[in-house]
Amino acid sequence: MDKTRIIQADRSHCTLLSALGAETFIETFGPHNTKEDMEEYVAKSFSHQQVETELKEPGSVFFIAYSVPQRRRLPGWKESRPLSCNAFM
């Protein structure tokens, strides 16, 4: 039986996070948008450079979940940022 592992992503995971983020976004929002709009947004928001920039932001943390021993199967990822009290004002 496979077990799920969760690790904190770092810069070495940028390509993986870009691909997984783009794939998930397209699957979720693709049916409700034009192909052109999706391509433009994904190219901008899930580029290697954009993910690397977000990883460098203070307080920004990405986690990757994968199954063991088949590490290539990635069930998901999560980006976490601290909440600010100003967000609720």
For residue 82, give the CATH number of its domain. 3.40.630.30
85: confidence class by pLDDT, cuts 50, 70, 90: very low
pLDDT score of 67: 76
Count of domains forming the chain: 1
Average confidence (pLDDT) over 4-27: 90
pLDDT score of 88: 40
pLDDT in tens, 27-78: 999 999 999 999 999 999 999 999 999 999 998 888 888 877 655 555 555 5
Rounded Cα distance between 54 and 1, Å, is: 34
pLDDT score of 18: 92
- The pTM (predicted TM-score) of the whole model is 0.70
- Domain with 28 in it: 3-88
Lookup: tokens for 7: 């690790």
